[in-house]
Amino acid sequence: MREIKEAGRAPRLSPAAGKFLEGIRILDLTYYLPGPHAAWRLAEMGAAVTKVEPPGGEPGKTLGGGIVHQANNGGKNIIELDLKGDEGRTAIQQLIRDADVLIESFRPGTLDRLGFGERELDALNPGLIYCSMTGYGQEGSYARAGSHDLNYLALSGVLSQLLDANGRPVHPLNTIADFAGALAVSEAVCAALVRKMTTGEGARLDVSITDVLAGWQGVHLAYESAGLSDTGIPGIDGSLARYGIYETADGRHVVLAALEEKFWHAFCDHAGQAGWKGGDERRGGPVHREVGDYFRSRPHEHWLDVSLQTDFCLTPVLRPGELDRHPHWRGRNPQA
């Protein structure tokens, strides 16, 4: 057994997250991004997280130069164990006995083959909360298939809703599905912990990332079923001038989300264009084109200043490295 005291620190959650999970022990048997991020969130809320990796470390240590691993494992105690050897098996058995929660992200059946299936875990620790995090769940035609973030976005229907001006799916630059799955795991674990505290019972949790994303489709499906829209909530799909993404003079972008009349009218008054209030806002119509021209008349920095001085739902499109320079984020994290 090899122990690594702690991985690199990741950005912290909001101070409002508190340390409500102090005294809770999490055993993290996950790799890459979604599982480690889920366990990291629990660590940020005060849980003591022990991450078990194979000898030499988990695959995330080499992904992207190791940055993925550093960004999602801060605050954890990391040990390396060979789960196929006697020493490693003995060590993890004790970790399981001591844990409140075990999170794993292996393909279905992997822990069973290693001798740590649901029955064995229950014998070692009857009150254990055992959470499996997978791309497609424990059963189904894709259950044991290799998969990644882009696959989950595609199969869930989410990618079909991220389109460019020509209606083609856009390749996201962030792993939306992985982070959504991580949130769902931390949420499910916290819910199971609440029940355990009142009943003493453990739980078996099966979190499929694709299921989580498919659950986001309820509003779209409701509008389709009603025959009202195949793009979700009318008016927020980029079809109206008041709610969209606009280019600035220097090739950057801003977001206008003046959905309610009071915000739209305030924006029109600020622009000195009272005629926009009752004009044709539809995509490609005169108001839509004129609003686009209006935003292209000034650089990004100008609109950032406007967003801080007005109240009609205007925000600059920021890059990750710019967050700590924006007044909002400085106010949220004054020590940064």
CA–CA separation, 101 and 87 (whole Å): 22
- Into how many domains does the chain fold? 2
Q: What residues in the chain have per-residue pLDDT under 70?
A: 1-17, 334-336
Asked whether residue 166 is assigned to any structural domain, the reply reads yes
Please check whether residues 40 and 168 belong to one and the same domain: yes
User: Residue 9: what pLDDT?
Assistant: 47
Query: From residue 155, how far is each of 6, 138, 142, 159, 209 by CA, in Å?
Result: 36, 16, 11, 8, 11
Asked whether residue 178 is assigned to any structural domain, the reply reads yes
Please check whether residues 204 and 64 belong to one and the same domain: yes
Please check whether residues 208 and 312 belong to one and the same domain: no
Q: Spell out the residues 6+ positions from residue 238 whose beta carbon is closer than 8 angstroms to its own.
A: 244, 245, 283
Please check whether residues 153 and 257 belong to one and the same domain: no
Please check whether residues 204 and 285 belong to one and the same domain: no
Structural domain boundaries enclosing 266: 243-332
Give this prediction's pTM: 0.90
Asked whether residue 229 is assigned to any structural domain, the reply reads no
Residue 145 maps to which CATH number?
3.40.50.10540
- 122, 148, 265, 326: which one is catalytic? 148
Please check whether residues 264 and 169 belong to one and the same domain: no
230 is catalytic: no
User: Residue 335: what pLDDT?
Assistant: 62
178 is catalytic: yes
DSSP conformation class of 240: B
pLDDT tens per residue, range 104-135: 999 999 999 999 999 999 999 999 999 999 99
Asked whether residue 27 is assigned to any structural domain, the reply reads yes
Please check whether residues 251 and 210 belong to one and the same domain: no
Beta bridge partners, 29, equal 104
Residue 323 maps to which CATH number?
3.30.1540.10
90 burial class (0-12, 13-18, 19+ CB within 10 angstroms)? exposed
pLDDT tens per residue, range 24-81: 999 999 999 999 999 999 999 999 999 999 999 999 898 888 899 999 999 999 999 9
Please check whether residues 209 and 250 belong to one and the same domain: no
- 28, 100, 149, 178: which one is catalytic? 178
CA–CA separation, 235 and 233 (whole Å): 6
Please check whether residues 11 and 52 belong to one and the same domain: yes
Please give the sequence-ordered ranges of beta strands (E in DSSP) within 273-330, or none if there are none.
314-316
Beta bridge partners, 169, equal 163
CB 155 within 8 A of CB 210: yes
Beta bridge partners, 315, equal 255
Please check whether residues 202 and 283 belong to one and the same domain: no
